[in-house]
């Protein structure tokens, strides 16, 4: 089971990324948990300065862009 972490302070792009991640998680079937990280100091701990960013189990996979559900699925598999 993987933890998908969405890093972002709550702007529209972060919400879009969250939706895409939920879609990707549903379609890829695996047991994924989506966690939103909105506190800016928590986001800094990932080393991320361009939001929205996406991390899986604490490893940052993308920064500064909204990945499509397909791109997220590729990261998950």
Partner 1 sequence: MSRTDWKSEWKPLLIIVLVFLGTFYLPLGNTRFDNALMESLHLAKWYAQEHVLTCLIPAFFIAGAIAVFVSQASVIKYFGAKAKKVLAYGVASVSGSILAVCSCTVLPLFAGIYRMGAGLGPATTFLYSGPAINVLAIILTARVLGLGLGVARALGAIVFSILVGLLMHVIFRKEELEKADARMAMPEPEVTRPLWQNALYFASMIGILVFVNWGKPEGPAGFWHLVYSIKWLITGGFALALAVILVSWFGVRLWKVSLAFIPSIILGLFFPHEPVIAFAAGVVGLSVLTSRDKGEAGDWFGSTWGFTKQILPLLFFGVLIAGILLGRPGHEGIIPSEWVSSAVGGNSLGSNLFASVAGAFMYFATLTEVPILQGLIGNGMGQGPALALLLAGPALSFPNMLVIRSVMGTKKTIVFVTLVILLSTISGLIYGAFF
**Contact mark string toward partner 1, 15..54, x via CB under 8 A:** -x----------------------xxx-xxxxxxxxx-x-
Would you give the DSSP letter of residue 61? E
Of 9 and 30, which CB lies nearer to partner 1 in the complex structure?
9
Q: Least distance from C-beta 31 to partner 1, angstroms?
A: 26
Is 21 in contact with 76 (CB distance < 8 Å)? no
Would you give the DSSP letter of residue 52? S
Query: Would you call 14 a catalytic residue per the annotation?
Result: yes
- Residue 1 is inside which H or E element, if any? none
- Residue 16 is inside which H or E element, if any? helix 12-28
The binding site for partner 1 (CB under 8 A) comprises: 8-14, 16, 39-41, 43-51, 53, 60, 63-66
Q: Which residues are catalytic?
A: 11, 14
């Amino acid at each position: 089971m993987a933890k998908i972490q969405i890093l972002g302070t709550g702007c529209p792009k972060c919400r879009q990324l969250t939706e895409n991640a939920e879609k990707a998680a549903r379609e890829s079937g695996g047991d994924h948990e989506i966690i939103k990280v909105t506190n800016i100091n928590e986001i800094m701990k990932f080393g991320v300065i361009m939001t929205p960013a996406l991390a899986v189990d604490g490893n940052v996979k993308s920064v500064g862009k909204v990945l499509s559900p397909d791109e997220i699925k590729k990261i998950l598999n």
